[in-house]
Amino acid sequence: MEAIIQQFFNLDIMARALPLVLAGLRQTLLLCFIVIPLGLVGGLVFALASLSSSRTVRWSMIAAIDFFRAVPPLVLLIFVYSGLPFAGIRLSPLTAVAVAFFLNTSSYYGEIYRAGIESVGRGQWDAARSTGLSAVSTLSHVVLPQAVRNVLPDLVSNTVEVVKLTSIASVVALPELLYSADMARSVTFNASPIVLAAAIYLVMLWPVVRLISRLERRMAS
Amino acid sequence: MDAARPPILEVRGLRKSFGHSEVLRGIDLAVAPQEMVFIIGPSGSGKSTLLRCCNRLEEPTSGAVHLGGVDLMAPSTDINAMRRKIGMVFQSFNLYPHMTALGNVTLALRKVAARSRTDAETLGMAALDRVGLAAKAKSYPGELSGGQQQRVAIARALALEPTVMLFDEPTSALDPELVGSVLAVMRELKAAGMTMLVVSHEMRFARDAADRVIFMDHGVIVEEGAPDQIFAKPREARTRAFIAGLTRS
Ligand SMILES: Nc1ncnc2c1ncn2[C@@H]1O[C@H](COP(=O)(O)OP(=O)(O)OP(=O)(O)O)[C@@H](O)[C@H]1O
Ligand SMILES: [Mg+2]
């Protein structure tokens, strides 16, 4: 028991690792602020393109979404960071992460938006268009507000996944939360920094997870 | 019909196919200003499709639609501008559930007619008042009865000051006790001189409000005439059979 506390819940070690871990947290938050808005906007573009009336646009978009959802994000990131240089495209770690995440998370968000847009009945389009609203106005004032409300739990759930996924940025040596904690572990020969990182993830995400449950309950009623 | 007055809405040689099935097979129809025309016919005869072609919610396969002399099919026609002049009311109301009654009525005023918020709200309140629902301006559709929702939908169309209104079975989704309130609004519109094209099987209402009744079957107009003639002495066997069915139910 004593050994477990020593190895995993060593407050002394945690205190020493704290600055490094907090620096990692800052990096993780920065990543989130880049990657989540990018995904939310990109997803909307993907969704609209996949609902386009042009068959070519529609099918190529659906194919792209399927592709980027099927490829493991880690593989995608390694390809963007280490593969593209062979084609003469060299990206900084942060840019590589942004590009890989854009492709991956936009595809997931895109699928969610698409389901949301399709959940809004054709009657809403008919009503809005019959009053002279353009397709764009109909989307932004009538369809999207309802679509987003209908899939809000899924959008938030996906966002939680994205936050957790930012830890893969460590493979391109971007010192995010998990990477920093792991550095601290290797210097201190102690797992407590990892536990600290886990605790930080928990504190960040647990309220969001609760929120999802409440949203889901509200939707069901 | 008064031959001297040019029609306000005119449909000529209208055809519409969905894939291989031809749903409208050459419709000719002219509606005079202030006229109230009823369209009746069996399910699937193309009544809704005809209405939806009148504002190009459904793209006609061929044929012409003119509103007040403007060719709605012409590439140069701004269809969104023309749609403001063609009010449409649906069987299932199709109110925007995330907006109040007033929000529903003012959306197009603000986004299409480019009115300021205050202007739009003044016009919107006037429209709600015409359907007797000014008091419900702040209510959401989910808080209104079916009859009230349909009247808000009428106000939404009315607020844009249309020259023609299209009604697609406006009362058939309503509980019987709520039908009267919607018909009363339509009667008032008629009295105020609105031109209306109405798909409805409210026979009693048609008999005392309609100027003309059109019977459609399989995508063609089989017969048309004054309501008394169509309902009491239909010429065509198909019309007779359909009216007999209506009367029984
Ligand atoms: N978007 C569509 N795609 C394919 N077929 C359609 C579409 N809309 C209508 N139809 C078909 O066209 C035919 C006419 O439909 P329409 O809705 O105009 O009939 P209706 O006279 O209004 O019938 P009801 O009294 O049931 O409302 C039907 O066979 C219907 O299945
Ligand atoms: Mg119909």
**Quick check: B156 and A131 CB within 8 A?**
yes
Taking 90 as the threshold, does the pLDDT of residue A52 lie above it?
no
Taking residues A8-20, report their average pLDDT: 89
Which residues in chain B land under pLDDT 70? 1-4, 249
Q: Is residue B97 within 8 angstroms of chain A, CB to CB?
A: yes
Q: What does the pLDDT read at residue B3?
A: 54
- pLDDT tens digits, one per residue of A189-199: 999 999 999 99
Structure confidence at residue A4 as a pLDDT band (50, 70, 90):
confident
Mutate to test the pocket of ligand 1, among B20, B38, B39, B45 (most ligand atoms within 8 A of CB): B45
- Which residue's alpha carbon is nearest to atom 5 within ligand 1? B18
Interface of A with B in 112-131 (CB under 8 A): 121, 123-124, 126-131
In this prediction, the answer to ipTM > 0.90 reads yes
Average pLDDT over residues A151-168: 93
Strand partners, B9: B31, B67
**Closest residue to B108, CB basis, from A124, A133, A149:** A133
Interface membership of B151 toward A (CB under 8 Å): no
Inter-residue long-range contacts of A175-180, CB under 8 Å, 24+ positions, other chains counted = A175/A23, A175/A24, A175/A27, A176/A24, A176/A27, A176/A28, A176/A31, A177/A21, A177/A24, A177/A25, A177/A27, A177/A28, A177/A201, A178/A24, A178/A28, A179/A24, A180/A20, A180/A21, A180/A23, A180/A24, A180/A25, A180/A27
Give the pLDDT confidence score for residue B4 in this predicted structure. 61
pLDDT grade for A221, boundaries at 50, 70 and 90: confident
Task: Give the gap in angstroms from C-alpha A124 to the nearest C-alpha of chain B.
Answer: 6
pLDDT-based confidence at residue A2 (cuts at 50, 70, 90): confident
The answer to whether residue A149 neighbours chain B at the CB level (below 8 Å) is yes
Report pTM.
0.89
Q: Closest Cα of chain B to A67: distance in Å?
A: 32
* Cα B46 to ligand 1 centroid, rounded to whole Å: 6
Give A7's pLDDT tier (boundaries 50, 70, 90): confident
Percent of chain A at pLDDT exceeding 90: 69
Distance in Å, alpha carbon of B98 to nearest chain A alpha carbon: 7
CB < 8 Å to A133, chain B = 80, 107-108, 111-112
Q: Which domains does chain A have, with CATH numbers?
A: 2-220 (1.10.3720.10)
Cβ–Cβ contact B96 with A under 8 A: yes
Quote the mean pLDDT of chain A.
92
Please tell me the distance in Å from B113's CA to the nearest CA on chain A.
9
Residues of A in contact with B78 (CB under 8 A): none
Residue A213 pLDDT > 80, yes or no? yes
Residue of B nearest to A128 (CA): B108
**pLDDT, tens digit, for every residue of A28-51?**
999 999 999 999 999 999 999 988
- With a cut of 70, say whether residue A134 has pLDDT above it: yes
A41 touches chain B (CB under 8 A): no
* B52, B80, B94 ranked by CB distance to A132: nearest: B80
For chain B, give the DSSP string.
--TTSPPSEEEEEEEEEETTEEEEEEEEEEE-TT-EEEEE--TTSSHHHHHHHHTTSS--SEEEEEETTEETTSTTS-HHHHHTTEEEE-TT----TTS-HHHHHHHHHHHTS---HHHHHHHHHHHHHHTT-GGGTT--GGGS-HHHHHHHHHHHHHTT--SEEEEESTTTTS-HHHHHHHHHHHHHHHHTT-EEEEE---HHHHHHH-SEEEEEETTEEEEEE-HHHHHHS-SSHHHHHHHHHHHH-
